[in-house]
Amino acid sequence: MNNPSNLTSHSSDTDIIAAGNFLSLRRLFSLHQHVQILELFVALLVFVSIHSLRQRKSHGLPVWPFLGMLPSLIAGVRGDMYEWISEVLCRQNGTFVFKGPSFSSLNCVVTSDPRNLEHLLKTKFPNFPKGGFFRSTVRDLLGDGIFSADDETWQRQRKTASIEFHSSKFRHLTTESLLELVHSRLLPVLEDSVKQSVSIDLQDVLLRLTFDNVCMIAFGVDPGCLRPGLPEIPFAKAFEDATEATVLRFVMPTCVWKALRYLNLGSEKNLKESIKGVDEFADEVIRTRKKELASPSDNKKQRSDLLTIFMGLKDEEGKPFSDKFLRDICVNFILAGRDTSSVALSWFFWLIDRNPAVEESILSEICRIVGQREGVKNGESKSPLIFRPEEVKKMDYLQAALSEALRLYPSVPVDHKEVVEDDVFPDGTKLKKGTKKVAKGKAVKATHAHSL
């Protein structure tokens, strides 16, 4: 007879084995489900990737769900952004629509088509102001200056500045300040680097040159950036940091940089601190100038910088301009003159280095003009090489070389606009009210380089 205890033990073993097999089946089934989910996820990811990448042909860049073209923008910013935009524009025949993330306001039309540029900058200029988005983005640094202003505010500042820029007194000021900077600072710095066989950052040197010059023109103050040893000037450093932080806002979702500003974190914290440095410098200069103009000295009659000029003018209500408005005027013109001139000169010398034949032609033209001087003919001239206005007008080849450098590498390669009313570009691109518009200069010039 079978032992009941053995039967019970056998039955328990069978149950345990059955339970184990059941658990194994459950694990296997669960694993199979996870594999299926993973396969579906991978398939979906592959499908989305292929679909997004295929849109590159029609849209210029891949369009990802929720993110739009932001991944491509981030990759472009990390490299040469302007070359990247130029390549996209060339693929899209001069115009493409940038689609930002669904949670951002980065959607815009980017164009380099000459017909479109003429349409927005000339034919329909009133329909394409800088707009509220641009003003809110740069207001912390530029305030209500000419770079951020629209309509009557912009026209008044531009008209006043244009009149002064063409005055003989202002031209004399700029000429004298440039001669002083070039012969007393730029040349000694360059000569010192040659004597010591030390390499220098030419772009940094030229930036210091133009910064000193434009500060003299705007504020009537010499910050002294271009001196032996190339010292760090607090105002110049603050201005540079504030400019970089402001530009960063344009490639960042608005909600992100506004959140950073509210929390005083990251780039917005740096921007706030930098603007404080800029404001302290500007306020001190304005206070000093007001005291100077109020004193019975003759210095006020000799000054012709923008700050002094606007201090003598009245607003639309017949009142003197506020200190805030004077600060905005000067800061805007410093930004306009500092970067544009230094960038143009940097690209010019870079191109000269790559084209020795052009350098020889420029030197030959200069030598020919210098050789026509009476003092040089008689061997009597020992004065510093300073060119007179009539001599500069004869330098046709040099002017052509500078123009070509600006054509290939514009100092201001992009320009931001906003659509006031629905419109259509000459190339057929439809523009809805409120659309942001970026005019790109370099791609136009690079595209047509072979036809000139």
Q: What is the per-residue pLDDT across 31-44, written as a single tens digit (0 to 9) for each?
A: 555 556 666 666 65
Mean pLDDT to the nearest integer, 410-439 = 85
Supply the pTM of this predicted model. Answer: 0.76
Number of domains in the chain: 1
Q: Sorting pLDDT into bands at 50, 70 and 90, what band is 406? A: very high
Residue 436 within a domain: no
Residue 7 within a domain: no
Q: Tell me which of 39-48, 328-337, 412-421, 426-435 is least confident.
A: 39-48
Structure tokens of 85? 């935009």
Position 94 scores a pLDDT of: 87
CA distance 128 to 125: 5
Position 377 scores a pLDDT of: 60
Residue 322 within a domain: yes
Q: Sorting pLDDT into bands at 50, 70 and 90, what band is 448? A: very low
Residue 155 within a domain: yes
Segment 272-284, tens digit of pLDDT: 999 999 999 999 9
Residue 81 within a domain: no
Contact indicator for 375, 381 with CB cutoff of 8 Å? yes
Mean pLDDT to the nearest integer, 120-127 = 89
CA distance 25 to 30: 8
Residue 319 within a domain: yes
Position 254 scores a pLDDT of: 85
Share of the chain above pLDDT 70, in %: 79
Mean pLDDT to the nearest integer, 313-339 = 85
Residue 111 within a domain: no
- The SS3 assignment for 314 reads strand
CA distance 206 to 341: 8
Name the residue range of residue 235's domain.
148-339
Share of the chain above pLDDT 90, in %: 26
Q: Sorting pLDDT into bands at 50, 70 and 90, what band is 160? A: confident
The CATH number covering residue 187 comes to 1.10.630.10
> Could you give the residue ranges of the DSSP H alpha helices within 254-383?
254-263, 266-294, 299-302, 306-311, 323-354, 356-371, 374-377
Asked if the model's pLDDT at residue 318 lies above 90, the reply is: no
Contact indicator for 331, 146 with CB cutoff of 8 Å? no
